[in-house]
Structure 1
């Protein structure tokens, strides 16, 4: 008799546990792929911009979507992101969904306000907000940035940011910044966020990475530039680093996602010429910190391999060892000068470091209360920092010896 009762119980449970009463069709949802946050004219209010992707554009349903825009953009003024989401549901025909959100744009004015951290911190209470969402600070208002960002190559906005994130790791012009890293470092160190703009303030510099967003001399192409980083201290933006300073910051970190990038250096044999090379960091940066003294000592060793790609002066570096030593000294001097300037700025102006050295300092203590009592950031201001670059020239990137014109005077 027990077995029939068991079967009857299982059968009755199937009616309770199964069903599709709470299902929502894909076309009934409006997936937000880009979210913008700006400071509002009203106190303790924010302007939240939603970029909702049209799933039919870029799909196989071309006949249905050829007259439709790739996304819909609207801005709501509310107390926070979640309140704005509810208000947006009174306007948009589809149910607003943040589960696919991977890009958050923060207007610079709002990032410099005291209210910024409160809004960002409270948003993660919603399970739809992912901590791996990319954080970008825009020079102009986030609403303007989102409306101006129309890529010629990518119709669907989420694809644009997905492909750009791969380029960031290749170039090192910007840091890899997301909500998770922000919450990890906002109390213990400076946090570097991606800096971008659709506005132009074009300048020309010899170094190809010594630009901020908007300064890169550009004639055509997409309107948005992403280079450099916004510096945030204790949940508030305080400054902007150039692409060159951002690269230096990433080099000094023990672990970095940007393992190689291309840069140019002064030709030590021909004034006015520059040599283009690829810098490769295959091994971790070695960071040793002595906290026993009243003033901490920091010793950093950065291993770099150099692949020389272009020598416009046609100087023979490949077969002349003396010229190679000159080139190594020039590269080391250039890197050390940039690093020294950056460290001085972080100590004197910021009073904190963006190199994640606090993790190395924390390992010198047995317990977390001891480390917190030591107060690493205040000690860093007077720290004695030594940086050494171990440079190895791996190749000269030449399959054929450059041809010189006979009889031409140089």
Structure 2
């Protein structure tokens, strides 16, 4: 019996020692996709009639990280291919490239302008992205006002990999509210709940040597409805989430321009019914600092009256901008401020009443914006 146990133990030890990574791939042979673009093909661009999209991306030259000499000093390699679906394009590239593509590190997917104008194709692409088991739910979906391949192909001066560049920009900008959150998780959740979403809008600048976020595009039921500029996106963030370093409010006080830098915001909304219409009361609280007015003007905001006056002017300007934004959204029944989900959570009877004809209720909704601003610091005066 002891001999049998000895043989069994030896067999287990030998088996463990002989075990290896059967699917091991050297890092130099892996293609880590960091940024990816998807464009709709024009008829004269198609190699096959069935092809619908072009996928483009860059992968870093990981061989540069080693100590051995490399055949090329290029920091990244550009690849593109076309096909009927995203999956078929990836398979096409893998069949032709010397790399095993790795999608789990991807940070951003850029959708070309033509895709957002094709409802059916947009639905198919979002479905394919959502179902892909390799993509992180935290990757960002962006819209482009030009072909996505043009953006993927550039080399920003600060960072040659577009995906890494976007990741560095978006991680901080989304958290402080200066850019719309276009993460895959948030996009898909809002599409399910409100049927309305906003993609951050990106473009090339500085002679195609830099990229930046210039606002957002609003989509409802997979149809492009409205474009929002950068300030409108910031005010949208002010309504929908708590932020910091959100925006500067510039007001004229006694013919002197004064800058009120908002350092934090809080918002709350209440939705009720009045005269068979929805009534939205939106409460926004801001805190911030006076960061500039005009050299040589003494005592302008160095007293309680000056501070109160600037606070009131800032409140009025915030209220004006928020009302303008909500009015713009109401014209296209774009519930980007989460009125319907607020009703669902806190007022089920009213939600059930307006659910079937919510778009019309939203268009006719009465809006009262209440803003309270507090100036905490006025800067160092010497």
Fold similarity call, TM over 0.5: yes
What pairs up with 1:110-149 in 2 under 5 angstroms?
110-114=115-119, 115-148=121-154
Q: Which residue in the other structure is 2:310 paired with?
A: 327
> Higher helix share goes to which structure?
2
Aligned residues: 372
Given that 1:280 and 1:304 are in contact with CA atoms closer than 8 Å, whether structure 2 keeps it comes out as: yes
Q: State the secondary structure of the residue aligned to 1:267.
A: strand
Q: Which residue in the other structure is 1:406 paired with?
A: none
Q: Which residue in the other structure is 1:19 paired with?
A: 20
Q: State the secondary structure of the residue aligned to 2:346.
A: coil
Q: Which residue in the other structure is 1:280 paired with?
A: 263
Given that 2:251 and 2:259 are in contact with CA atoms closer than 8 Å, whether structure 1 keeps it comes out as: no
Q: Which residue in the other structure is 1:252 paired with?
A: 239
Alignment partners' CA distance in 2, 1:14 and 1:365: 66
> Higher strand share goes to which structure?
2
- 1:95 maps onto 2:95 in alignment: no
What pairs up with 1:251-330 in 2 under 5 angstroms?
251-253=238-240, 255-256=241-242, 258-270=243-255, 273-281=256-264, 284-291=266-273, 294-312=276-294, 314=297, 316-330=299-313
Query: Normalising to structure 2: TM-score of the pair?
Result: 0.87
What pairs up with 1:202-241 in 2 under 5 angstroms?
222-241=209-228
What pairs up with 1:353-392 in 2 under 5 angstroms?
353-365=335-347, 370=352, 373=355, 376-392=358-374
Structure 2 counterpart of 1:45, from 24, 42, 52 = 52
Alignment partners' CA distance in 2, 1:368 and 1:323: 44
What pairs up with 1:47-62 in 2 under 5 angstroms?
47-57=54-64, 59=65, 61=67
Q: Which residue in the other structure is 2:8 paired with?
A: 8
Q: State the secondary structure of the residue aligned to 2:131.
A: coil
Given that 2:343 and 2:351 are in contact with CA atoms closer than 8 Å, whether structure 1 keeps it comes out as: no
- 1:184 maps onto 2:185 in alignment: no
Alignment partners' CA distance in 2, 1:5 and 1:370: 69
Given that 1:189 and 1:354 are in contact with CA atoms closer than 8 Å, whether structure 2 keeps it comes out as: no
Deviations 1:237-277 (A, max 9, x none): 32211111001101111x34x4223414122211xx53222
Q: Closer, same or farther in 2 for the Cα pair 1:392/1:3, shift >3 Å?
A: farther
Shift of 1:198: 1.1
Q: Which residue in the other structure is 1:151 paired with?
A: 156
Alignment partners' CA distance in 1, 2:135 and 2:350: 29
Alignment partners' CA distance in 2, 1:221 and 1:316: 46
Q: Which residue in the other structure is 1:396 paired with?
A: 378
Q: Closer, same or farther in 2 for the Cα pair 1:381/1:121, shift >3 Å?
A: same
Q: State the secondary structure of the residue aligned to 1:237.
A: strand
Alignment partners' CA distance in 2, 1:3 and 1:134: 61
Q: Could you tell which deviates more after superposition, 132-141 or 285-294?
A: 285-294
Q: State the secondary structure of the residue aligned to 1:124.
A: helix
Q: State the secondary structure of the residue aligned to 1:381.
A: helix
Alignment partners' CA distance in 1, 2:172 and 2:6: 59
Alignment partners' CA distance in 2, 1:287 and 1:369: 15
Alignment partners' CA distance in 2, 1:222 and 1:251: 31
Shift of 1:186: 1.5
For structure 1, which runs of at least 5 residues remain unmatched after alignment?
200-217, 402-410
Query: Normalising to structure 1: TM-score of the pair?
Result: 0.81
Deviations 1:146-174 (A, max 9, x none): 113x2212244443122211342366342
Given that 2:56 and 2:149 are in contact with CA atoms closer than 8 Å, whether structure 1 keeps it comes out as: yes
Alignment partners' CA distance in 1, 2:278 and 2:19: 63
